[in-house]
A and B are shown apart, each in its own frame.
Chain A
Amino acid sequence: SAVISQKPSRDICQRGTSLTIQCQVDSQVTMMFWYRQQPGQSLTLIATANQGSEATYESGFVIDKFPISRPNLTFSTLTVSNMSPEDSSIYLCSAGVGAHEKLFFGSGTQLSVL
Chain B
Amino acid sequence: SQKIEQNSEALNIQEGKTATLTCNYTNYSPAYLQWYRQDPGRGPVFLLLIRENEKEKRKERLKVTFDTTLKQSLFHITASQPADSATYLCAPGGQTGANNLFFGTGTRLTVIP
Kindly provide the distance from the CB of A49 to the nearest chain B CB, expressed in whole angstroms.
11
Interface of A is mostly: strand
Complex Cα–Cα for A105 and B91 (A): 14
Chain A residue at minimum C-beta to C-beta distance from B108:
A40
Interface of B is mostly: loop
Q: Give the chain A neighbours of B86 by CB distance below 8 A.
A: none
Contact A105 B45 (CB under 8 A): yes
Q: Give the chain B neighbours of A62 by CB distance below 8 A.
A: none
**A42 interface neighbour in B32, B49, B106, Cβ under 8 Å:** B106
Contact A107 B94 (CB under 8 A): no
Contact A92 B43 (CB under 8 A): yes
Complex Cα–Cα for A102 and B34 (A): 8
The stretch from A12-20, A63-71, A73-81, A93-101 touching chain B is A93-101
Kindly provide the distance from the CB of A102 to the nearest chain B CB, expressed in whole angstroms.
5
Scoring A residues 80 to 114 as 1 if CB is less than 8 Å from chain B, else 0, what string do you get? 00000000000010101000111111111000000
Contact (A48, B100) CB under 8 Å given A42-B89, A42-B105, A101-B34 = yes
Scoring B residues 67 to 107 as 1 if CB is less than 8 Å from chain A, else 0, what string do you get? 00000000000000000000001000110000111111110
Scoring B residues 27 to 58 as 1 if CB is less than 8 Å from chain A, else 0, what string do you get? 00000101010000111111001000000000
Q: Kindly identify, within residues 20 to 74 of chain A, every residue whose CB is under 8 Å from any CB belonging to chain B.
A: 31, 33, 35, 41-45, 48
| B interface with A by C-beta (< 8 Å) | 32, 34, 36, 41-46, 49, 89, 93-94, 99-106
3 closest Cβ contacts across the A-B interface?
A105-B43, A100-B99, A43-B103
| A interface with B by C-beta (< 8 Å) | 4, 31, 33, 35, 41-45, 48, 92, 94, 96, 100-108
